[in-house]
Amino acid sequence: MCQVDEEYNGQLEHRVTPRVSKKCVKCKENAAVLIIRAGDAFCRGCFKEYFIHKFRAMLGKNRVIFPGEKVLLAVSGGPASSSMLSQVQEGLSRDAPKKLRFVPGIIYIDGNVQMIIAQVALGGASGQSMEERERAVAQLESVFRATNYHYHIVHLEQVLSLPSSVLEAGSSATEKPQTGSSYKAAVDQFIQTRKNQHPDLSVENAQSHLSSLSMQEVEHGGTSPITPEQTQALQRLFASVRTLTAKEDLLHTLRQHLILHTARTQGYTKVMMGDSCSRLAIKLLSNISLGRGASLATDTGFSDPRYGDVVIVRPMRDYSSKEIAYYNRMFDIPSVFIPGLDTKAQDKASIQHLTESFVTKLQTDFPSTVSTIYR
């Protein structure tokens, strides 16, 4: 028999598991309160600084968003998009060392109707009532109102009344050249314009003027009423799609059309999406399975210029879902749970859901799974 304890006890190597009692890897003084990856232990203050710096560095490195541009934040109520909204608020606050210089707006696509669709299309699943749907919208609206940003709450039913022009790519001839020198010139022009418009403001105040936009300067976007006929038409549309994979793909397409149409009609030139690297890794494998490998660069990259006049950017693409969950929990970032199309469905065998389950379970045993797929 193999007698490990008697003959090889001195040669066995014991694996040291990381513990949060160790010191912070950045300040080397405070005790760590969380471990993001093996060897990356942070205290509370250093983790917040690290999280904020990563967001600001992503925007500064790519230099896609120019000063004074109107940027639409696509907020779904989930952890990633809620964290993105918090980072924009942080960057536009008066206490920020280097303030963001764009004009933010918020859009929320009321997708709770998908549960009503699921009740009809997936055979008796218990969907959400209209009262529950309105309650979720009211919770998000209170969060949006607290930001003092212009916001738009768009119901999914409104996609049926969109013009056909939403499917056409807009002209990008007016897009600014994305070079370092032109970006610096745009910054200088922005500051000079603000000084001319407000002679009593200093340069620092001119840079932070956008962060103090009040609700009196912009009119909040309201919710247009929806009719039962529109809801029934949307139900018939989803009922005509047979598989759950196609339903989720259709839902994503309709949401993109609503976001794009709102951005164009309201004068936004950039749209911020809250896709984390965990979500992009799942999207990457799902799109390969769906035969969309040719568009992986635009589907998962920082910027997506395929629509021409409106560019989609993903500033959260370097954050893992674990980092976002830690940040939201530690700093009380509010989020609202919005059920997905397959939340109460009997059959969850969609390509998107199976890919998410596969990547999540593999990530549990092999922590480098998401980063490997993502890179």
Lowest mean pLDDT among 22-26, 111-115, 252-256, 291-295: 111-115
**Cβ distance 64 to 313 under 8 Å?**
yes
CA–CA dist 350, 352 (Å, integer): 5
Angle, helices 79-92/44-62, rounded to nearest 10 degrees: 80
Looking at the domain assignment, is residue 268 inside a domain?
A: yes
Return the higher-pLDDT residue of 297 and 193.
Answer: 297
Averaged pLDDT, 58-71: 90
The one-letter amino acid code at 258 reads L
Structure-block tokens of residue 165: 């022009």
The most confident of the ranges 7-16, 207-216, 305-314 is 305-314
Contacts of 72 (CB under 8 A, 6+ apart): 104, 105, 106, 107, 259, 262, 263, 266, 268, 270, 271, 272
**Cβ distance 50 to 26 under 8 Å?**
yes
Q: Could you tell me whether strands 311-313 and 270-272 are parallel, antiparallel, or unpaired per DSSP bridges?
A: parallel
Cβ-count burial of 68 within 10 angstroms (0-12 exposed, 13-18 middle, 19+ buried)?
middle
Contacts of 367 (CB under 8 A, 6+ apart): 37, 38
Lowest mean pLDDT among 73-87, 143-157, 333-347: 333-347
* pLDDT value at residue 99: 83
- Check which CATH number belongs to the domain holding 306 and give it: 3.40.50.620
Looking at the domain assignment, is residue 279 inside a domain?
A: yes
**Cβ distance 319 to 225 under 8 Å?**
no
* pLDDT value at residue 266: 93
Averaged pLDDT, 328-349: 75
- For residue 75, pLDDT beyond 90: yes
* pLDDT value at residue 207: 39
**Cβ distance 251 to 341 under 8 Å?**
yes
CA–CA dist 248, 340 (Å, integer): 9
What total number of domains does the chain contain? Answer: 1
Identify the three-state secondary structure at position 177: coil
Q: pLDDT exceeding 90 applies to what percent of the chain? A: 31
> What is the domain range of residue 329?
66-161+225-374
The one-letter amino acid code at 185 reads A
Looking at the domain assignment, is residue 26 inside a domain?
A: no
Return the higher-pLDDT residue of 358 and 337.
Answer: 358
Looking at the domain assignment, is residue 45 inside a domain?
A: no
State how far Cα 117 lies from the chain centre. Answer: 24
Helical H runs in the chain? Answer: 4-7, 44-62, 79-92, 113-121, 130-147, 180-197, 203-207, 228-239, 244-266, 277-289, 296-300, 321-330, 351-365, 369-374
Looking at the domain assignment, is residue 202 inside a domain?
A: no
Lowest mean pLDDT among 7-16, 34-43, 79-88, 352-361: 7-16
Q: Each residue of 226-241: pLDDT tens digit?
A: 777 877 888 888 888 8
Per the document, the length of the chain is 375
Residue 178: CB atoms within 10 Å? 15
Helix (H) or strand (E) holding 272: strand 270-272
* pLDDT value at residue 21: 55
**Cβ distance 39 to 74 under 8 Å?**
no
Looking at the domain assignment, is residue 144 inside a domain?
A: yes
- From residue 102, how far is each of 57, 269, 360 by CA, in Å? 16, 11, 35
Return the higher-pLDDT residue of 183 and 76.
Answer: 76
Lowest mean pLDDT among 64-68, 87-91, 207-211, 245-249: 207-211
Return the higher-pLDDT residue of 293 and 271.
Answer: 271
Q: pLDDT exceeding 70 applies to what percent of the chain? A: 71
CA–CA dist 349, 289 (Å, integer): 14
Q: Could you tell me whether strands 150-155 and 103-110 are parallel, antiparallel, or unpaired per DSSP bridges?
A: parallel
Lowest mean pLDDT among 40-54, 233-247, 278-292: 233-247
Return the higher-pLDDT residue of 256 and 169.
Answer: 256
Task: Please provide the average confidence, as pLDDT, over all residues in the chain.
Answer: 77
* pLDDT value at residue 314: 94
Return the higher-pLDDT residue of 359 and 226.
Answer: 359
Q: Each residue of 84-128: pLDDT tens digit?
A: 999 999 988 877 777 888 999 999 988 654 444 544 433 333 344
Structure-block tokens of residue 279: 């979500």
Q: Each residue of 254-290: pLDDT tens digit?
A: 999 999 999 999 999 999 999 999 999 999 999 999 8
CA–CA dist 48, 66 (Å, integer): 26
Looking at the domain assignment, is residue 92 inside a domain?
A: yes
Residue 238: closest CA among 259, 253, 260: 253
* pLDDT value at residue 226: 73
Return the higher-pLDDT residue of 2 and 185.
Answer: 185
* pLDDT value at residue 7: 56
- For residue 251, pLDDT beyond 90: no
Lowest mean pLDDT among 112-116, 147-151, 290-294, 312-316: 112-116
> From the CA atom positions of the chain, what is the Rg in Å?
23
Looking at the domain assignment, is residue 204 inside a domain?
A: no
The most confident of the ranges 9-18, 162-171, 319-328 is 319-328
CA–CA dist 204, 39 (Å, integer): 39
Structure-block tokens of residue 351: 């390509």
CA–CA dist 300, 292 (Å, integer): 12
